Structure 1
């Protein structure tokens, strides 16, 4: 497992590099990932606009930034993502702002899911390759200490309840999900990730 993570890290992108990669592909009428379609390209365009907005509006709570800056160790947040993923578009800008506010305690790296099947298959959600998936790697130990994703708890419950009640994932729930993210303003992602970081601190190997 450690070798799979190390191999993946060699092909990761910084947040800025990831944004440029997605943008460059869109200029060619493409999206990231093995599958190419008009719908996926359109989702990628929509996500790029969302991320541009979130880069300007997302704010990290002062208490969250303080906790990140006072982490005892240094970490890599390795995120499996794709440009067409709506959840990733909502979450990656938050992760980026958290990493930037951590006083270099966190290094955010992004890998494309479809280029890293071996790693993705180790972190399935209910048997599916759901993204984004965040792997929290302790730099000093070189091991994955925890993982998170693909959504905050509130967003996951929204999707689960809708699928239970209606049996489908349709455009209505996709719209409702985006409204949930808009209202939440990235707070749930911040709180859940910091909670995990604190649990790592107090549960050492």
Structure 2
């Protein structure tokens, strides 16, 4: 938790995008056939276009259960910072849920930064040594870390780790299986993960 003292401060939060700004940025980049980062290949732009469509769908479909809704509404003022990139499939699947969650409490300030523009932040939140995204860092008003989540729900993370041990894996089929999992799960797993996460907060005003 000491990482946040060095890499996340109020200036970073103030300069970061809100969710609507993030979505607008992606749409503007797509109009120019670009994505975030430096790789604007047709493949990366195609991923980004698909992700924009996924986020559009989730923005309309995300439903927060009653238990999680009540827990989030009771939180004190907080800053939630997401590390992301537009081309990341897991980001597109999970960020609309996090945004909907933050909207439940006007005291939650949700902001997003791009991974490759903030290497010092990403390096403080590696997953098994990898720059996996999205990562959500949840901080109180004193900029003390209360919790973090990411880069994906635990069942998917297990699938990804196991896939790394299979050199002959059909990558396209594997990615399709991940997105099918998200569609079938309908945000149920991530809601339970957030209930457990927030219940472990040491919150104070």
Q: Between 91-100 and 34-43, report the one with greater CA deviation.
A: 34-43
Q: Who is 1:192 aligned against?
A: 193
Could you tell me the TM-score, scaled by structure 1's length?
0.91
Q: CA separation in 1, counterparts of 2:170 and 2:156?
A: 13
Q: Who is 2:37 aligned against?
A: 33
Tell me by how many angstroms 1:166 deviates. Answer: 5.1
Could you tell me the TM-score, scaled by structure 2's length?
0.91
Q: Who is 1:78 aligned against?
A: 81
Tell me by how many angstroms 1:100 deviates. Answer: 1.0
Q: CA separation in 1, counterparts of 2:87 and 2:97?
A: 17
> What RMSD, in angstroms, separates the aligned Cα atoms of the two structures?
1.7
Q: Between 34-43 and 119-128, report the one with greater CA deviation.
A: 34-43
Q: Who is 1:67 aligned against?
A: 71
1:89-135 deviations in Å (ceiling 9; x for gaps): 0000100111112x224221111111100110011111111000011
Q: How many residues align?
A: 200
Tell me by how many angstroms 1:26 deviates. Answer: 0.5
Q: Who is 2:161 aligned against?
A: 160
Q: CA separation in 1, counterparts of 2:107 and 2:17?
A: 18
Q: Who is 2:145 aligned against?
A: 144
Contact 2:8 2:143 in 1 (8 A): no
Q: CA separation in 2, counterparts of 1:159 and 1:54?
A: 22
Secondary structure (helix, strand or coil) at the match of 1:32 reads: coil
Q: CA separation in 2, counterparts of 1:122 and 1:168?
A: 30
Long gaps (5+) in structure 2: none
Contact 1:163 1:169 in 2 (8 A): no
In the alignment, which of 23, 46, 52 is matched to residue 48 of structure 1? 52
Long gaps (5+) in structure 1: none
Counterpart check, 1:120 vs 2:130: no
Q: Who is 1:4 aligned against?
A: 7
Tell me by how many angstroms 1:165 deviates. Answer: 4.4
Tell me by how many angstroms 1:37 deviates. Answer: 1.4
Tell me by how many angstroms 1:192 deviates. Answer: 1.2
1:10-66 deviations in Å (ceiling 9; x for gaps): 331111000000110000010011322111111000000111111111101111101
Q: Who is 1:129 aligned against?
A: 131
